[in-house]
Amino acid sequence: MTTVVSAKIPDELGKKAKLHHIKISQVVKKAIEEEVRRVEEKSLSADLGKMGRILRKKVSSKEIVRAVRSSGNER
């Protein structure tokens, strides 16, 4: 399934894009993909920050160090 997107650009820009054989639909698709990825990464980073703050309240630093060291020993 696909979604149709419509955008208005100045005539001059459209002419230049056509002159340089730029496929506008590909440029728009790539720009939207990059923006979605950026927003998702930002959201994920915020979520990880919240989880880190929660874990710091519930798990002591000593327990974290012990878990990290023990996981290193398992390798």
Residue 28 CB contacts under 8 Å (≥ 6 apart), including other chains? 5, 7
* pLDDT of the residue at 72: 72
* pLDDT of the residue at 74: 64
Band of pLDDT at residue 36, cut at 50, 70 and 90 = very high
Kindly report the pTM of this predicted structure. 0.65
DSSP string, 39-61: HHHHHHHHHHHHHHHHHHHHS-H
Q: Per-residue pLDDT tens for 39-74?
A: 999 999 999 999 888 888 888 878 878 888 887 766
